[in-house]
Amino acid sequence: MHKTDHNNAQKLQLGKVATVQIVTMLIAVVSLLIDGIMTSVFLGDECTAAYGLTNPVSMLLVALGGLLASGVQILGGRYAGKNDMDGLNRVLTTSVTTGCAGGLVISVLISLFIRPLCVGLGAPADPLQGLTAQYLRGIVFCLPALVIGQIIPGFLQLRNCQRQIIIAAFSQIAADVLLDYLNVTVFHGGLWGMAMATVISCYLYVALLLIPCFTHAGYRFSFRVFSFSELKKICGYGLLYLVYKSCVALMTLFLNRVLSARGGVTFVAANSIIFSVELFIGAFPSGFGSTTSMLIGMEMAQDGHTAAARLCRRIVRMSVIVNLIQIVVVLLLANQIVGMFSPLSESVAAMAAWGLRLYALSVLPNTVNYIVRNYEQNMNHPGAAYFICLMNHLALPAAVGFVLMAFAQLRYIWLCFVIGQGACILITWYIMRRDTGVNRQIDRN
């Protein structure tokens, strides 16, 4: 194949995979976004604040699925590059079995310690504590579905079953919206009902993914091929995602506690709205990062380290264009976006729109750092990958947050993300520049 034709074909594949990965990530969080909107529209500021306090738990609830899904994307991509269907079936059985069992165990543990957990999240007394506990009691049932729902799309992607993913995705969205609406207008189930609507729609999504997985895609599930050695590889590759989600959860917890102590319900409710929108915005970095995980291993196996580095730079360039569009849209339409959560008090709406504009500025550096982090992991540079992860998602934003708390008004606290993650770009740039020469030397040898 001519080099130009190869590049064009690669760009087309890259765009296709990135689009479906972004959609997949959107579906992983869209139920939480819908819950946030419905809570604000129908249940008021206090319920919105309580919902926002559960965000660190929501992040940890999807962390197990992300751990396994990230490992599957890397290991599955390598098996797919070798056309090893037996290896893919081992990875499928091992990841789904582990995800289901782990999800059930964590659900039980959270259920046993809900009250102490609410206090730790920043809700020491009623009504916030009771409302926070109400949502947690429902959402814990969702964990097995959240885990499996993040794992299966990667397998369908490897078999070019994008249409089936899209059908399952839109079915879940429709079901969640309908059930949330019935909850608030007919059953009056409050935050617990909101959570249960999410649970039901997530299990529907999983069912619609599993059917084509075993029919159209041709995978086979069998406990006989469960492999602890494959599980070790999956967890090894996916551990970075678990660290990432843990950092995000800790940063969210830090922000919620600061806002609860210094700003009260107004700031916490505004941050809840910002976080709900961030779930949508954040799907783009996650989608591009997953694209990197899926394709870099295949590219390295087929064409070498230098080709993998070129592919990473293409993913970065594509992401920059998408991110700039995101930023412009949010800056121009922040009031309208926040308006989707109406009715809100004027103070909450104004603060949410202000904070959303500040937060949106961080999406571009966050995406670039995310992509290079996953690239470094695929290139067997775990130290660099973990360092970028910790700096980008926790250490630098938290450090900037402490400085802003000391020297700026509380309303500027959301700048901690763009300043911290922007500073991390310097680390990322240095690591990529260092690796360029190393990759060329490896390919020559």
Q: Are the CB atoms for 379 and 294 separated by under 8 Å?
A: no
pLDDT of 21: 63
- Using one digit for the tens of pLDDT, what is the confidence trace for 265-301? 889 889 988 988 887 787 777 777 777 766 776 676 6
**What CA–CA distances, in Å, run from 419 to 36, 111, 161, 289, 361?**
27, 37, 39, 21, 9
162, 20 contact by CB (below 8 A): yes
Say what the pLDDT of residue 163 is: 86
Does the model's pTM come out above 0.85?
Answer: no
Total number of domains in the chain: 1
Domain that holds residue 88: 3-444
pLDDT for residue 90: 95
Residue 192, classified by CB atoms within 10 Å of its CB into exposed (0-12), middle (13-18) or buried (19+), is middle
Whether 21 contacts 293, CB under 8 Å: no
Asked if 127 contacts 93 with a C-beta cutoff of 8 angstroms, the reply is no
Taking alpha carbons only, the member of 22, 15, 8, 13 closest to residue 289 is: 22
What's the pLDDT at 97? Answer: 94
| pLDDT reported for residue 7 | 52
Which parts of the chain have pLDDT scores under 70? 1-32, 293-294, 297-298, 300-303, 436-445
Residue type at 116 in one-letter notation: P
Q: Examine residue 285 and say whether the peptide bond preceding it is cis (omega within 30 degrees of 0).
A: no
Q: How far apart are CA 257 and CA 410, in angstroms?
A: 12
